[in-house]
Every structure is written in C-alpha cells, then in structure tokens.
Structure 1
Amino acid sequence: MLDQSESLYNQCLDLDPSHVDCHRGLAVLLVETDRPDRAFALMRNWATSQPQLADARIELARLYQEFGEGETAQKFLEDAIHQDGNNARAWLALGQIREAAGDYQQALQDYQRSYDLNSMQPQVAERIASMNRQIVSGAGGVTASGTRLAQQSAADVSKGRY
C-alpha cells in the first residue's frame, strides 16, 4: 500500500504542484520509509520552484523542526513571513519555535499576530492565555504551580501542528 500511496501523492502533485497536504503527506511517507533525504529534497525543490508560496517554506521549516533543527526552521519561517506577512500559519509556527527556544515574549507576540490574522484558532487563543499567565506569574521562569516554564512550553509546543 505504501507504493500505491506514494504514487497517488505524486499524481496529486502532478495535478496541483502547490498542494500543501500532498507535499506534507508525501514527505511524511518518505520519512517513515527511511528516506528523509528524499523528503528534504522534495520540500526544498518545492520551495525553490515556487518561491512566492509561503506554505512551501512553512512545511520545509516544519520538517527541519521535526528533525531537531530549530534554528534552520526559524530561518525558513522568517522567510515565509517576509514572503507573506499575513500568513497565520507562519506566525503560529514561528511562535512555537521561539517558545521552544525560551523566547517567551517574542513567542507571545507571534501567537497574537497569528490570532489577529485568523481568530478561528482556539489552540492559539489557549497558548496566548497560558503564556500570559506564565509570564505574569513566573517572572523567574517558574509558573505559579512550580513547573519550569521551559519544560512545560516544550511539551505544549510538541503537541501543536501548524
């Protein structure tokens, strides 16, 4: 079934070279079948062939983040925002990267920008509220419950999808 799935993803991309979910699905399939180099090549080629499309950079950043390369992911997200400053997914993803890196004030601003652009994101509203509480109650990086902000943030960010 994996071969058939790969074939169908490629057919989808033949019909619509900008299809975000087909690129993402194919990249996941390539990673899960021990071909991460092909997944990165797929995403890089997409970003190169469609430089006007912020989604290509967002998905490439996501792949880098999943492989533990947060700084590279952040660079691609900043490129995506430069390309399309009104992309709520890019702002959300950048907020998640910055939160995981411990830059809580900037992460909060990124989340707020994402929410301003698309208020139909309940998970973003929750992150904004949670971070506001943590920042106010935990000036030293510790929340009112005594949980380290960095540990809690890393766990929360790993649950999110952008």
Structure 2
Amino acid sequence: MSYLQDEDSYKQLFYHFYPILLSFCVTILNNKEDAEEVVSEVLLKVWTMGEDLDQIENLTVYLFTAARNKAYDALRKQKRHAPTIAISDHIQEYIADENSPEILYTSGELEQYIGKIIRALPTQAQLVYRLVKEQGLPYKQVTEILGISLNTAETHMRLALKKIRTALNAYLSDKK
C-alpha cells in the first residue's frame, strides 16, 4: 500500500516539496503563475499514482525530474525560450543603482545582491547552483534531475561560482 494514499501523508509531501519545486520551476519558466501550475500538476500526478508510487526509487529525484520536464513542456507550448541574461550587464545595472535610498536602507543588502547575481546566471548554471547549494542535493541527483553529465554539472557550478565571486569582488571593492 502506498504511503501517499492517505490525505495527511500527501499534505506533508505537498507542504515539504511545493516551495522547493516552485522555486526550481520559476528559475526555468521565469514566471511564477506558470511555475505554480506546473508544480501543482506534478504533485497531483503523485497523488493519483497510488501503488505505482512504491516503484519510485528516489522520490526527490522523481519530483524534480517531473517538474523539469513539465516546465520545459510549458516553455515549448508557449514557444518561448528560457531567458539568459548577460551577468555583466545585469551587474553593471545593479552597481549603478546601488546608491539608491531603497537599496542602501535595506537590511539584507548583500543578500539581495547575491540573489540578483544568482538570478542573472545562465539558466542551467542557476539550476545546478540552486539544487546543490540551496537544496543540498548531491551532484549525482542533480545530474539525474537535469539529465546532464557529472562533468557538465561541475562545469556549470564552476561558472556560477566564478561569476558570483567576480561580482562580489566588484561589489565589495566599490564599498571601500
């Protein structure tokens, strides 16, 4: 008997995975409403799987993979591509705005800045970074979720960390 057949178990699963999967799908779709729809569909599918759910080896990998596939399907249906922003342009725009009163008086200024850098990363690098650093998933699970090789995942992480480090160095040198 599947452990998700009772409503309380499903609610626990939903409340645990919904925010994580939503963040993941927003990264891919760049649209919160579309991401909410994708995540809801994925979690509904899990609810309706019944006994088939027992055959899933790793539920986390399954959910992220299903969410990724649904998100990419949504992109194809909308005939748009996941945007990639040149980080240097994005950083220059932010640095130019760093003296605005709104940013100067925000308590989490550095945290916001790092968040902006991460959101400006190319989509694949951002996904790898978020899954490894924010969700704490091992590289092996990340490669399964994204359908990429270990070498590719490591390359994306190196790229992400290099861009974050470069942007932070520029930011911190301007603060001196």
TM-score of the pair, normalised by structure 2 = 0.27
Q: Tell which structure's C-alpha radius of gyration is larger.
A: 2
Which structure has more helix as a fraction of its residues?
2
Greater relative contact order (Cα < 8 A, sep 6+): 2
